[in-house]
């Protein structure tokens, strides 16, 4: 399947992007599975490992969260606030479309 086949009429490849700290992965994985089960197109990093390999993750996450996801759900936690990658995702990628859990 071509990436263009996954893009909706508004130009988004994903309905929701999930931004979280690794400590929340178990919970977030269940959320991702439930959203997928309900037909919601989800960006969950574990599902994209092949695409992440060898990329500049700062640039890639900015592109994903700004341009490819209609919404971003941030699973805020103390770990999220204190880690580098979640902060990069939040600063560079979420833009105006942020929902906080």
The dotted CATH code for 3-100 is: 3.40.50.10140
What is the tens place of the pLDDT at every residue in 15-46? 999 999 999 999 999 999 999 999 999 999 99
b/e sequence 73-101, b meaning 16+ C-beta within 10 Å = bbbbbeebeebebbebbbeebbeebeeee
| Segment 62-96, tens digit of pLDDT | 888 888 999 888 898 999 888 877 777 776 655 54
The model's pTM is 0.80
Walk across the sheet containing 98-100 and list its strands: 42-43, 14-19, 69-74, 98-100
pLDDT in the model for residue 2: 43
Q: Quick check: 68 and 6 in contact, CB under 8 A?
A: no
């Amino acid at each position: 399947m071509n990436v263009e086949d996954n893009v909706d009429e508004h130009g988004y490849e994903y309905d929701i992007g999930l931004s979280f700290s690794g400590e929340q992965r178990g919970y977030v994985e269940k959320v991702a599975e439930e959203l997928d089960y309900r037909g919601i197109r989800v960006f969950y990093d574990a599902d994209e490992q092949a695409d992440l390999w060898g990329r500049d993750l700062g640039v890639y996450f900015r592109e994903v969260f700004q341009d490819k996801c209609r919404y971003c759900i941030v699973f805020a936690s103390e770990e999220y606030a204190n880690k580098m990658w979640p902060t990069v995702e939040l600063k560079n990628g979420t833009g105006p479309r942020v929902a906080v859990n």
